[in-house]
Amino acid sequence: MPDLSRWLNAHLWLVYVFLYAPILVLMGLSFNRAGMPTAWTGFSTAWYGKLIESPEITSAAFNTLIVASVSTVIATMLGTALALGVSRRRPSSALEALLFAPMIIPDIVLAIALLSFYTLLGFTLGLHSIILSHVVFNIAFVCAIVRTRLRHFDYSVVEASVDLGASEFTTFLRVTLPMIWPGVLAGALLAFTLSVDEFIIAYFTAGPGSSSTTLPMRIYAMIRFGVTPEINAMATIVMLFSFTLVLVSQRINKGTVTRS
């Protein structure tokens, strides 16, 4: 199938072009002298300078990182466990509904519901309340992806391991987890991405003040004046940082062979 794979690769590269075109646009605009995204008036790195002087944006970015990382870790653990628990059982409508629900409930409803709930409990809001709320939809997405992976899971390998005397935990760590790892990773990636971009639930469940403001919240409030190159500069930095992270993780992983 060499011909087919050439077409497929061409398609993949087109997809990358589609995905990155707006990114390149915003990176380019971060060097735009003018304050507006619609006219190019000359190259300038002034906005990166302004960014450094703007502690609110950098602290918001930091907060976003914390919220996304912590909620991803929690959601991945809970979601994977949930997927493992569910996949061997007979399908039950109630359970399915429960697992679909966080994806289906409109985010504004969840946002207001959670705020009302926290208020009723007299719960103090802060970054932690955002994390608690983000885990809700992240669990559902992680679970869904891991379940997809588990559909073709060969349980006989697990049983063999147990028969050979390995404990439940060792079996999980040495047999199950490596086999579902791509699914878990995909789910975690998804959860991280969703959390990084989410601002409605974050806005409503955040505490007042900049110690619990996340970047999307900040940006949504700032777009009143259109997107300033400052924000584009921030987005560019985030992108470059992530890109570096990817390269570094590839270096580290060079020795590891991915088992199928």
Partner 1 sequence: MTMLRKLAAAAAAATVALAAVPGLAAGKIVISNWDGYMPADMAEQFQAATGIEMEVALHATNEEIMGKIVAGGGKGYDVLFVSSPFAEALNQLGLAAKIDHGMIPNLANLYPQANELAYDPGNTYQVPYAWGTTGLCYRSDLVAGTPDSWSDLLNPDDALKGKITMLATDRWLMAAGMLARGYSVNETDQAKIDEVKADLIAAKKNLLAYDDTTFYSKLVSGEASLVHAWDGWCNYGTAENDQIKYVIPKEGTDLWVDTMVIPAASENKEAAHAFINFVLGQETGKWVAENIMYKVPNKAAMELLDPGYVAAFPNIGYDPAEMLKQEQMRDLGAAQKAYTKAVSEITASQ
Partner 2 sequence: MTPRLRSWLLMLPGIGWLTVFMIVPCLIVFFYSFFERGTYGGIDYIFGFQNFSRAAEPVYRTIFLTSARIALEATLIAVVVAYPAAYAISLAPKARQTRLLLLVMLPFWSNYLIRTYAWIVLLNREGLINRGLRGMGVIDEPLPILYNEFAVVTGLVYNYLPFVILAIYASIQRIDPSLREASEDLGAPGWRTFLRVTLPLTLPGVAAGAVFVFVLSIGNFITPDLLGGGRLQMVGNLIYDQFLSARDWPFGAAVSLVLIFIMMLLLFAQAAAVNRAQDHGRAA
CB-based contact 202:216 (threshold 8 Å) = yes
Least CB distance from residue 234 to partner 1, whole Å? 15
Contact partner at residue 90 from partner 1, partner 2, none, CB < 5 to 8 Å by partner kind: none
Q: Which of residues 209-248 bind partner 1 (CB under 8 A)?
A: 209-210, 213, 217-218, 220-226
Closer residue to partner 1, CB minimum distance, 116 or 253? 116
**Distance separating alpha carbons of residues 74 and 85, to the nearest angstrom:** 16
DSSP designation for 164:
T
Amino acid, res. 89:
R
Q: Does 38 bind partner 1 (CB under 8 A)?
A: yes
Residue 212 · residue 63 · CB < 8 Å? yes
Using CB under 8 A as the binding rule, the residues of this chain from 95 to 114 that contact partner 1 are: 112
- In sign, the C-alpha dihedral spanning 177, 182, 183, 188 is positive
Shortest Cβ distance from residue 247 to partner 1 (Å)?
A: 35
For 35, which DSSP code?
Answer: S
Contact between 242 and 23 (Cβ < 8 Å): no
225 binds, among partner 1, partner 2, none (CB under 5 to 8 A by kind): partner 1
To partner 2, the closest distance from the beta carbon of 62 in angstroms equals: 14
In 3-state terms, the chain is what percent helix, strand and coil (to 5)?
Answer: 80, 0, 20
Question: Minimum distance from CB of 22 to partner 1 (Å)?
Answer: 17
Q: Which does 203 bind (CB under 5 to 8 A by kind): partner 2, partner 1, none?
A: partner 1
How many residues bind to partner 1 according to rule CB under 8 A? 26
| CB atoms inside a 10 Å sphere around CB 150 | 19
Choosing among partner 1, partner 2, none, which partner's interface includes residue 43 (Cβ < 5 to 8 Å by kind)?
none
Contacts 24+ apart (CB under 8 A), 167-170: none
For residue 145, the one-letter residue type is I
Q: Which of 66, 77, 78, 118 binds partner 1 (CB under 8 A)?
A: 118
Q: What does the alpha-carbon distance between residue 137 and residue 193 come to, in Å, rounded to a whole number?
A: 12
Per CB under 8 A, the list member of 175, 207, 237, 239 interacting with partner 1 is 207
- Residues engaged in binding partner 1 (CB under 8 A): 36-39, 112, 115-116, 118-119, 125, 203-204, 207-210, 213, 217-218, 220-226
